[in-house]
Amino acid sequence: MKNVFLVLTLGLLINIVWSQDKTEKINFIIEGTYDAKTDRGYRFINRLDNTPILFDQVRPRLHIKSNLEDDSLIGSMFKITYGTEEFKQNGPEGLNNGLPYKEKLIILNMKLIE
């Protein structure tokens, strides 16, 4: 009986520690006009307030649906679902040096609006 209690307690502790490391993923949806591919990512103009938004990455499978490398899509309106991912900024020589976390914006899905 003590072994069962010990295993259950250990399992509960592992679950608590593991769940604290996970960050909650939140997806956002915008409508925007494709503006350009830059060396830093893909720039869209938010339809709501005409501000630029720069996405760092696009899921690889989406390149097949909407090839953003093609200049012919510039000016096209898209409905974009995206998420964020935090990463550590590294200074010189790969050291963190207390630099804050940054967010990457990642396009998860997109649909051409006609």
What's the pLDDT tens digit per position in 53-78? 999 988 888 765 567 887 888 999 99
What's the pLDDT tens digit per position in 5-19? 555 565 555 555 444
> Are 30 and 47 spatial neighbours (Cβ–Cβ below 8 Å)?
yes
Cα radius of gyration (the chain): 20
- Residue 103 CB burial class (10 angstroms; 0-12, 13-18, ≥19): exposed
Distance (Å, whole) CA 40 – CA 36: 11
**pTM of the full structure:** 0.66
Q: Which CATH architecture has domain 25-113?
A: Beta Barrel (2.40)
